[in-house]
Amino acid sequence: MILLINYGIGNIRSVANALESLGARTKISERPEDLRDADRIVLPGVGAFAEAMRRLEAVGFPDALREEVLEKGKPYLGLCLGMQLLAERGYEHGEHRGLGWIGGEVRRIEPNDPKLRIPHIGWNSVAPTRKDSILFKGMKGDPSFYFVHSYSFRPSDSAVASGVTDHGCDVVATVEQGHVFGTQFHPEKSQKAGLALLRNFLEFKC
């Protein structure tokens, strides 16, 4: 069973629909205790870094996630803001603490070309950067995905990044650390490439 964490922001149903189209059984929940019954965990994310952390902390998700993912080893996939929250801290409207699972921070994108707009919205190709990538397994070339974001994750260890895109500067598009995965883009909105990536997460074996 794939548990999708609902913290009250965004259209989480579209992510569930994408997973279900691949044959997965999903459950959407706002209760940390439901993580115990999950085989895999997905955190779809939209909105601001601080508000998302506030909502997760208000009902006890960070401690429950740490137990189920870091201690018990359940695969985790963070989408968009759900990836950014893996960082130690974020700087959207001040400095705020993240989950801290992957060293690094989240900062506003600063493109070298002033003509490039922020937020970054639209399709971008992603260059896989690791031969051992789970998320890009079986994909050819530089697949394209759909992005909507103004901030990006800057990991302390560049080896954690498994895919990079360009928006006037290098932007980390995916991270992979053991059984913890994240995508800056929205795979549920990314057609065939997005479904292929979700399938790779579903088929991943620790």
Q: What is the pLDDT of residues 57-105, one digit of tens each?
A: 999 999 999 999 999 999 999 999 999 999 999 999 899 999 999 999 9
Looking at residue 63, its pLDDT comes to: 97
Give the model confidence (pLDDT) of 114-138 as tens digits: 888 899 999 999 999 999 999 999 9
Going by C-alpha positions, the residue among 34, 36, 30, 40 that lies closest to residue 7 is 30
Question: Which pLDDT score is estimated for 9?
Answer: 73
- pLDDT band at residue 160, thresholds of 50, 70 and 90? very high
Question: Could you read off the pLDDT of 21-54 as tens digits, one per residue?
Answer: 999 999 999 999 999 999 999 999 888 999 999 9
Q: Which domain holds residue 159?
A: 2-203
Q: What is the CATH number of the domain that holds 149?
A: 3.40.50.880
Q: Which of 9, 19, 45 is nearest to 184 (CA)?
A: 45
Lowest mean pLDDT among 20-24, 55-59, 145-149, 167-171: 167-171
If one compares 168 and 184, the residue with the highest pLDDT of the two is 184
Are the C-beta atoms of 188 and 140 separated by less than 8 Å?
no
Distances (CA, A) of 9 to 28, 100, 123, 137: 13, 21, 23, 30
Residue 44: its pLDDT value, please? Answer: 93
Active site residues: 80, 186, 188
Tell me how far apart the alpha carbons of residues 162 and 164 are, in angstroms, rounded to a whole number: 7
Q: Are 98 and 45 a contacting pair, CB within 8 Å?
A: no
In this structure, what token pair is assigned to residue 180?
């913890």
Number of domains in the chain: 1
Dihedrals φ, ψ of 199, to 5°?
A: -65, -40
The pLDDT of residue 56 is 95
Average pLDDT of the chain, as a whole number: 95
